[in-house]
Amino acid sequence: MDLEFLLHFLAQVAANNNTAWMAAHRPDYQRARAACTELVRRVLAQAAVTDPDLADLTPADVLFRLHKNDRSQRDPEPYKRRMGAGLKRGGRHAPRAGYFLAIQPEGRSWLGAGTFHPTPAMLAAIRQEIHYSSDEFHQRRQAPALLRYFPAGLDTTGPQLTRPPRGYSANDPDLPWLRLKTYGVGRFYTDSEVLAPDFVAQVVAGIAAARPLVGFLNEALPEPEAGKNLDF
Protein backbone atom coordinates (compact mmCIF):
# COMPACT_ATOMS: atom_id res chain seq x y z
CA MET A 1 0.00 0.00 0.00
CA ASP A 2 1.20 3.46 -0.87
CA LEU A 3 0.08 5.12 2.36
CA GLU A 4 3.04 7.48 2.46
CA PHE A 5 1.96 8.91 -0.88
CA LEU A 6 -1.66 9.07 0.32
CA LEU A 7 -0.63 11.21 3.30
CA HIS A 8 1.54 13.39 1.06
CA PHE A 9 -1.28 13.90 -1.44
CA LEU A 10 -3.77 14.84 1.26
CA ALA A 11 -1.28 17.38 2.66
CA GLN A 12 -1.09 18.86 -0.83
CA VAL A 13 -4.88 18.99 -1.05
CA ALA A 14 -5.00 20.92 2.22
CA ALA A 15 -2.52 23.45 0.81
CA ASN A 16 -4.16 23.68 -2.63
CA ASN A 17 -7.84 23.08 -2.05
CA ASN A 18 -9.30 24.22 -5.36
CA THR A 19 -10.63 22.60 -8.52
CA ALA A 20 -7.89 23.95 -10.80
CA TRP A 21 -5.15 22.31 -8.75
CA MET A 22 -7.07 19.06 -8.53
CA ALA A 23 -7.62 18.98 -12.29
CA ALA A 24 -3.89 19.44 -12.84
CA HIS A 25 -3.09 16.62 -10.42
CA ARG A 26 -5.67 14.05 -11.48
CA PRO A 27 -3.12 11.20 -11.79
CA ASP A 28 -1.94 11.89 -8.24
CA TYR A 29 -5.53 11.77 -7.02
CA GLN A 30 -6.05 8.41 -8.71
CA ARG A 31 -2.87 7.04 -7.15
CA ALA A 32 -3.92 8.24 -3.70
CA ARG A 33 -7.42 6.88 -4.15
CA ALA A 34 -5.98 3.50 -5.14
CA ALA A 35 -3.89 3.45 -1.97
CA CYS A 36 -6.92 4.22 0.18
CA THR A 37 -8.97 1.62 -1.69
CA GLU A 38 -6.36 -1.06 -1.00
CA LEU A 39 -6.22 -0.09 2.68
CA VAL A 40 -9.98 -0.39 3.00
CA ARG A 41 -10.02 -3.67 1.07
CA ARG A 42 -7.55 -5.21 3.52
CA VAL A 43 -9.41 -3.89 6.56
CA LEU A 44 -12.72 -5.25 5.28
CA ALA A 45 -11.27 -8.67 4.51
CA GLN A 46 -9.74 -9.06 7.97
CA ALA A 47 -12.51 -7.36 9.99
CA ALA A 48 -15.18 -9.57 8.44
CA VAL A 49 -13.73 -12.49 10.40
CA THR A 50 -15.09 -11.00 13.63
CA ASP A 51 -17.99 -8.97 12.23
CA PRO A 52 -19.97 -10.87 9.56
CA ASP A 53 -21.89 -7.66 8.74
CA LEU A 54 -18.79 -6.57 6.82
CA ALA A 55 -18.36 -9.80 4.87
CA ASP A 56 -20.05 -8.86 1.60
CA LEU A 57 -18.90 -5.26 1.40
CA THR A 58 -16.50 -3.92 -1.22
CA PRO A 59 -14.46 -0.71 -1.10
CA ALA A 60 -16.91 0.81 -3.58
CA ASP A 61 -19.71 0.26 -1.07
CA VAL A 62 -17.98 2.09 1.75
CA LEU A 63 -15.56 4.71 0.43
CA PHE A 64 -16.60 8.35 0.78
CA ARG A 65 -16.06 10.90 -1.97
CA LEU A 66 -13.24 13.40 -1.62
CA HIS A 67 -15.47 16.13 -3.03
CA LYS A 68 -17.65 17.79 -0.43
CA ASN A 69 -21.40 17.58 -1.01
CA ASP A 70 -22.49 19.59 2.02
CA ARG A 71 -20.59 22.86 1.67
CA SER A 72 -22.05 26.05 3.04
CA GLN A 73 -21.43 29.48 1.55
CA ARG A 74 -18.81 30.05 4.23
CA ASP A 75 -16.78 27.02 3.16
CA PRO A 76 -14.59 27.88 0.16
CA GLU A 77 -12.87 24.47 0.01
CA PRO A 78 -14.43 22.00 -2.43
CA TYR A 79 -12.53 18.96 -1.12
CA LYS A 80 -12.25 17.19 2.20
CA ARG A 81 -8.81 17.02 3.78
CA ARG A 82 -9.15 13.30 4.37
CA MET A 83 -10.03 10.08 2.59
CA GLY A 84 -12.12 7.54 4.39
CA ALA A 85 -14.83 4.95 4.53
CA GLY A 86 -17.97 4.06 6.46
CA LEU A 87 -17.85 0.32 7.13
CA LYS A 88 -21.32 -0.99 7.92
CA ARG A 89 -23.85 -3.40 6.49
CA GLY A 90 -25.67 -1.72 3.64
CA GLY A 91 -22.76 0.57 2.81
CA ARG A 92 -21.48 3.95 3.92
CA HIS A 93 -24.90 5.68 3.97
CA ALA A 94 -26.93 2.91 5.62
CA PRO A 95 -28.94 4.08 8.67
CA ARG A 96 -26.98 1.88 11.06
CA ALA A 97 -24.10 2.08 13.49
CA GLY A 98 -20.76 1.00 12.12
CA TYR A 99 -17.08 1.83 11.82
CA PHE A 100 -15.42 4.84 10.24
CA LEU A 101 -11.83 5.02 9.05
CA ALA A 102 -10.27 8.26 7.83
CA ILE A 103 -6.72 9.00 6.70
CA GLN A 104 -5.55 12.57 7.23
CA PRO A 105 -2.02 13.95 7.71
CA GLU A 106 -0.56 15.51 10.83
CA GLY A 107 -1.92 12.92 13.24
CA ARG A 108 -5.56 13.36 12.23
CA SER A 109 -6.13 9.84 10.90
CA TRP A 110 -9.05 8.42 12.82
CA LEU A 111 -11.01 5.27 13.62
CA GLY A 112 -14.51 5.67 15.00
CA ALA A 113 -17.25 3.22 15.92
CA GLY A 114 -20.92 3.92 16.53
CA THR A 115 -23.29 6.43 14.94
CA PHE A 116 -22.22 10.05 14.73
CA HIS A 117 -25.05 11.69 12.79
CA PRO A 118 -28.15 9.66 13.70
CA THR A 119 -31.58 10.74 12.56
CA PRO A 120 -34.19 11.69 15.19
CA ALA A 121 -35.83 8.29 14.73
CA MET A 122 -32.51 6.52 15.28
CA LEU A 123 -31.84 8.59 18.40
CA ALA A 124 -35.25 7.76 19.83
CA ALA A 125 -34.69 4.04 19.27
CA ILE A 126 -31.20 4.10 20.82
CA ARG A 127 -32.40 6.05 23.86
CA GLN A 128 -35.20 3.57 24.38
CA GLU A 129 -32.75 0.68 24.20
CA ILE A 130 -30.49 2.35 26.78
CA HIS A 131 -33.51 2.94 29.04
CA TYR A 132 -34.71 -0.68 28.74
CA SER A 133 -31.26 -2.31 28.84
CA SER A 134 -29.22 0.04 31.00
CA ASP A 135 -26.98 -2.61 32.54
CA GLU A 136 -26.08 -4.06 29.17
CA PHE A 137 -25.35 -0.61 27.75
CA HIS A 138 -22.97 0.29 30.57
CA GLN A 139 -21.29 -3.10 30.43
CA ARG A 140 -20.53 -2.68 26.76
CA ARG A 141 -19.44 0.96 26.87
CA GLN A 142 -17.07 0.20 29.77
CA ALA A 143 -15.71 -3.09 28.43
CA PRO A 144 -11.93 -3.35 29.02
CA ALA A 145 -11.36 -4.49 25.43
CA LEU A 146 -13.13 -1.40 24.11
CA LEU A 147 -11.25 0.98 26.40
CA ARG A 148 -7.95 -0.59 25.44
CA TYR A 149 -8.34 0.71 21.89
CA PHE A 150 -10.57 3.72 22.66
CA PRO A 151 -9.30 4.99 26.04
CA ALA A 152 -11.61 8.02 26.10
CA GLY A 153 -14.66 5.75 25.93
CA LEU A 154 -18.03 6.88 24.65
CA ASP A 155 -17.75 10.50 23.50
CA THR A 156 -19.71 12.88 25.73
CA THR A 157 -18.18 16.10 24.38
CA GLY A 158 -20.42 16.42 21.34
CA PRO A 159 -23.85 18.00 20.96
CA GLN A 160 -26.51 17.02 23.47
CA LEU A 161 -29.91 18.08 24.68
CA THR A 162 -30.17 20.72 27.40
CA ARG A 163 -33.33 19.07 28.75
CA PRO A 164 -34.37 15.45 29.18
CA PRO A 165 -35.62 13.82 25.97
CA ARG A 166 -39.38 13.78 25.67
CA GLY A 167 -40.82 10.95 27.75
CA TYR A 168 -37.87 10.67 30.15
CA SER A 169 -37.65 11.93 33.71
CA ALA A 170 -35.17 14.55 34.84
CA ASN A 171 -34.32 12.08 37.61
CA ASP A 172 -33.49 9.21 35.28
CA PRO A 173 -30.09 7.83 36.37
CA ASP A 174 -29.09 7.44 32.72
CA LEU A 175 -30.00 11.02 31.79
CA PRO A 176 -26.38 12.01 30.93
CA TRP A 177 -26.39 9.27 28.29
CA LEU A 178 -29.96 9.80 27.10
CA ARG A 179 -29.24 13.45 26.31
CA LEU A 180 -26.46 12.62 23.84
CA LYS A 181 -27.04 13.26 20.14
CA THR A 182 -24.22 10.97 19.00
CA TYR A 183 -23.17 7.55 20.26
CA GLY A 184 -19.66 6.59 19.37
CA VAL A 185 -16.04 6.11 20.32
CA GLY A 186 -13.01 7.31 18.40
CA ARG A 187 -9.24 7.54 18.40
CA PHE A 188 -6.55 9.25 16.35
CA TYR A 189 -3.40 7.78 14.78
CA THR A 190 -0.13 9.56 14.20
CA ASP A 191 1.36 9.52 10.72
CA SER A 192 4.01 7.12 11.99
CA GLU A 193 1.31 4.74 13.21
CA VAL A 194 -0.41 4.87 9.82
CA LEU A 195 2.86 3.99 8.10
CA ALA A 196 3.73 1.19 10.54
CA PRO A 197 3.58 -2.41 9.22
CA ASP A 198 0.86 -3.35 11.72
CA PHE A 199 -1.52 -0.47 10.96
CA VAL A 200 -4.17 -2.66 9.34
CA ALA A 201 -3.93 -5.11 12.24
CA GLN A 202 -4.41 -2.27 14.74
CA VAL A 203 -7.48 -0.98 12.91
CA VAL A 204 -8.97 -4.47 12.69
CA ALA A 205 -8.35 -5.04 16.40
CA GLY A 206 -10.07 -1.75 17.18
CA ILE A 207 -13.09 -2.77 15.12
CA ALA A 208 -13.28 -6.11 16.92
CA ALA A 209 -13.10 -4.38 20.30
CA ALA A 210 -15.92 -1.99 19.35
CA ARG A 211 -18.19 -4.61 17.86
CA PRO A 212 -20.20 -5.28 21.06
CA LEU A 213 -21.03 -1.57 21.43
CA VAL A 214 -21.90 -1.24 17.75
CA GLY A 215 -24.04 -4.36 18.07
CA PHE A 216 -25.94 -2.84 21.01
CA LEU A 217 -26.74 0.26 18.98
CA ASN A 218 -27.84 -1.75 15.96
CA GLU A 219 -30.06 -3.98 18.11
CA ALA A 220 -32.06 -0.84 18.83
CA LEU A 221 -32.50 0.06 15.18
CA PRO A 222 -35.02 -1.44 12.77
CA GLU A 223 -33.68 -3.18 9.72
CA PRO A 224 -33.55 -0.64 6.88
CA GLU A 225 -35.95 -1.19 4.01
CA ALA A 226 -34.33 -2.38 0.82
CA GLY A 227 -33.20 0.52 -1.31
CA LYS A 228 -33.65 3.11 1.45
CA ASN A 229 -30.19 4.20 2.52
CA LEU A 230 -30.09 7.49 4.37
CA ASP A 231 -27.07 9.79 4.36
CA PHE A 232 -26.09 10.71 7.92
Enumerate residue ranges in the chain where pLDDT < 70. Answer: 71-73, 224-232
Instruction: Spell out the residues 6+ positions from residue 62 whose beta carbon is closer than 8 angstroms to its own.
Output: 40, 44, 85, 86, 87, 88, 91, 92
Per-residue pLDDT at 1 = 82
Q: Which helix (H) or strand (E) holds 84?
A: strand 83-87
Q: Which of 87, 118, 100 is nearest to 217 (CA)?
A: 118
Per-residue pLDDT at 75 = 76
Instruction: Give 71-85 pLDDT, tens digit per residue.
Output: 665 778 999 999 999
Distances in Å between the Cα of 210 and the Cα atoms of 38, 58, 105, 190 are 22, 21, 24, 20
Per-domain residue ranges for the chain?
Answer: 3-220
Per-residue pLDDT at 33 = 98
Residues 6 and 35 sit within 8 Å (Cβ to Cβ):
yes
Per-residue pLDDT at 223 = 72
Per-residue pLDDT at 71 = 62
Per-residue pLDDT at 222 = 80
* Entry pTM: 0.92
DSSP β-ladder status, 98-103 and 109-115: antiparallel
DSSP β-ladder status, 98-103 and 83-87: antiparallel
Per-residue pLDDT at 88 = 96
